[in-house]
């Protein structure tokens, strides 16, 4: 079969599909098992070539041996994964992502320090920025939010 397009079924109503050009391409495309080839005419031609052409037979046998080696390697990898590699990887990732212990005494001390500093800054700003000529009965309030400028910025 020299054409690129072929009909893989016995019905003429199904569309054509792109297929391999030669027998070696067919082995690369569909595998070494000729029984799994969707193109029956090409598979029949391949069976004839296995008996008549030694180079094609050697190419197909090499592809078959490669398939066996790949299946063996895939089975060994699957067995290795099933033997616990996945659990070991999961344990390693969870160990690195484990939450750090919460240090409540540091958080409370940091929040208290922020409140004290906010009060001191508010008192100092009322002394510095208050006009001297006005009546001191008018109160100026400066409020610093201890949750905004608090322990969350320093990682406590």
- Which residues in 25-149 belong to E strands, given as ranges? none
Kindly tell me if the per-residue pLDDT of 37 is higher than 60.
yes
Calculate mean pLDDT across residues 5-15.
Answer: 51
Q: How confident is the model at residue 2 (pLDDT cuts 50, 70, 90)?
A: very low
Closest-CA residue to 39 (of 22, 60, 64):
22
| 0.75 exceeded by pTM | no
In the prediction, which pLDDT does 70 show? 93
More confident site: 72 or 143: 72
List the chain domain ranges. 5-95, 104-154
Which residues, at least 6 apart from 14, have a Cβ–Cβ distance to it below 8 Å?
7, 8
Q: What are phi and psi of 5, to 5 degrees?
A: -95, 140
In the prediction, which pLDDT does 64 show? 93
Hey, what are 141's tokens?
Answer: 């309030």
Q: What is the pLDDT of residues 90-138, one digit of tens each?
A: 888 888 887 777 788 888 898 899 888 888 887 777 777 766 666 555 5
CA–CA distance, 85 with 68 (Å, rounded to integer): 24
Buried b (16+ CB within 10 A) or exposed e, 67-104: eeeeeeeeeeeeeeeeeeeeeeeeeeeeeeeeeeeeee
CA–CA distance, 91 with 97 (Å, rounded to integer): 10
In the prediction, which pLDDT does 81 show? 78
Q: What is the pLDDT of residues 44-96, one digit of tens each?
A: 999 999 889 899 999 999 999 999 999 999 999 888 877 877 788 888 888 88
In the prediction, which pLDDT does 146 show? 59
């Amino acid at each position: 079969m020299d054409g690129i397009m072929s009909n893989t079924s016995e019905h003429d109503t199904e569309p054509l599909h792109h297929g391999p050009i030669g027998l070696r391409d067919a082995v690369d495309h569909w595998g070494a098992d000729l029984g799994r080839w969707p193109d029956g005419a090409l598979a029949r031609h391949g069976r004839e070539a296995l008996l008549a052409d030694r180079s094609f037979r050697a190419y197909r046998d090499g592809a078959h041996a490669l398939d066996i080696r790949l299946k063996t390697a895939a089975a060994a990898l699957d067995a290795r994964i099933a033997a616990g590699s996945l659990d070991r990887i999961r344990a390693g990732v969870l160990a690195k992502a484990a939450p750090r212990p919460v240090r409540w005494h540091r958080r409370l001390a940091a929040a208290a320090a922020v409140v004290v500093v906010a009060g001191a800054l508010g008192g100092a700003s009322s002394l510095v920025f208050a006009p001297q000529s006005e009546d001191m009965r008018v109160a100026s309030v400066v409020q610093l939010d201890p949750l905004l400028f608090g322990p969350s910025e320093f990682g406590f």
